Amino acid sequence: MLKQLLKGSSVLIFLLAGNLSALAQAQEAQPQPQGTPAPAAPAPQTQQSPEQAVSPEELQQLANVIPKLQEIGQTAQQKFAQVIEKSPLSVERFQELAQAQQSPEAQPSTPVTPEEQQSFKQVVTQIESIQRETFSEQEQVVRAEGIEPARFDQIVAAIQRNPALQQQVQQMLQNNQKN
Cβ count near 13 (within 10 Å): 23
To the nearest whole percent, how much of the chain has pLDDT over 70?
71
CA dihedral (49, 148, 13, 135) positive or negative: negative
In the predicted structure, residue 47 carries a pLDDT above the cut 70: no
What is the pLDDT of the chain when averaged over all its residues? Answer: 78
8-state DSSP, 51: T
User: How many domains does the chain contain in total?
Assistant: 1
Higher pLDDT residue, 28 or 73? 73
Kindly state whether residue 83 falls inside one of the protein's structural domains: yes
How far, rounded to the nearest angstrom, does the alpha carbon of residue 14 sit from its chain's CA centroid?
8
Kindly state whether residue 35 falls inside one of the protein's structural domains: no
Percent helix / strand / coil, the chain, rounded to 5: 70, 0, 30
- Residue 106 has a pLDDT of 86
Kindly state whether residue 174 falls inside one of the protein's structural domains: yes
Kindly state whether residue 151 falls inside one of the protein's structural domains: yes
Kindly state whether residue 3 falls inside one of the protein's structural domains: no
Q: Which domain holds residue 150?
A: 13-23+54-178
Kindly state whether residue 39 falls inside one of the protein's structural domains: no
d(CA 52, CA 67): 23
